[in-house]
Amino acid sequence: MPLSPEQVAEIAAARAQEAATLRPTVPELESMLYQAMPVLDHGFIRVIDYMGNDAAIVQAARVSYGRGTKKVSEDRGLIRYLMRHRHTTPFEMCEIKFHVKLPIFVARQWIRHRTASVNEISARYSILDKEYYIPAPGQLAAQSQNNRQGRGAVLEGEEAARVLAMLRDDAETNFAHYEEMLNVDDAGEPVDPARDGLARELARMDLTLNTYTQWYWKTDLHNLMHFLSLRADAHAQYEIRVYAEEMLKVLKAWVPATYEAFMDYRVGGAGLSAKDLAVVRRLIAGGTVTQEESGLSKREWGELMATLGRDA
């Protein structure tokens, strides 16, 4: 369960509060505020706050006093133009803040995106909850033979059961040692009041990378879309991709016109090199071209043919 009854009550209390504001708001995103969107076995994302909307992007692009134009179609057209021609500054005028609960090894990937403001729970001051990520059987795969950072065939039978047991047993053992060193039980209460436990900043060393951590992550819309273009991609690691997929739902609710342009030009579109374009032009003209003639490597050629829906 990603949230305790106390946390659920806190979220309900936060959602019960209302405040008058003169700034533009987005009803679709307001309805999502504070609510936990479950991810993996114990994780979640929550929208904590945001600033701006589609109209704010248009306003910034035109440096106008108003909230865009009188016609939604004109605002949509401008947003698509900005996305198409990579004019990114207007998108930076919108910001959003998430509360994310995620395994430590996913957090170490995520933090590579250095364009956000991050504040993570500190195990120097807090005792982490006894929660760790155990993959679903369908996500337990062998190392890919042709991709050094990817997965291959799914493990099955006794081998899968053995790996799952090791992951679970190691996490249980390490967390038990963590609590023993701290001199606390599962509720965080002292086991032996007569003795001090090991310093938290030292005891945390024994935790496994599948232990859950939490942070507040604030970024602007431009950098959020860059994050999503990489992490919602089919080639991204599953455990971070599922977070990105939930964040795509937030993006759609928050800035629908921007979401549409983003999905068209960044997610569903394709970038072509000068050599790629030369090949496409020859094919359109009815000519033929081979990989050797194209000047492309075998990998580049294969990717281009896959983009065009042709056999390599």
83 near 265, Cβ under 8 Å? yes
* pLDDT per position as a tens digit, 26-83: 999 999 999 999 999 999 999 999 999 999 999 999 887 665 556 778 899 999 999 9
pLDDT range class, residue 186, cuts 50, 70, 90: confident
Flag whether pLDDT at 16 surpasses 70. yes
What are the CA-CA distances from residue 142 to residues 18, 33, 41, 152, 250 (Å)? 50, 39, 21, 5, 33
Phi, psi of 153 (to 5 degrees): -70, 145
Catalytic positions, written as ranges? 231
Rounded Cα distance between 113 and 223, Å, is: 9
Please spell the DSSP secondary structure of 14-67, one letter per residue. HHH-----SS---HHHHTTBT--EEETTTEEEEEEEEE--HHHHHHHHHT-SSS
Q: Which two tokens stand for residue 118?
A: 């991050």
Residues of the chain with CATH 3.30.1360.170: 5-133+210-267
Q: What is the mean pLDDT of residues 212-218?
A: 97
Q: Which two tokens stand for residue 52?
A: 């701006």
| Domain covering 5-133+210-267 assigned CATH 3.30.1360.170 in the classification | yes
Q: Which two tokens stand for residue 171?
A: 């996490």
Flag whether pLDDT at 171 surpasses 80. yes
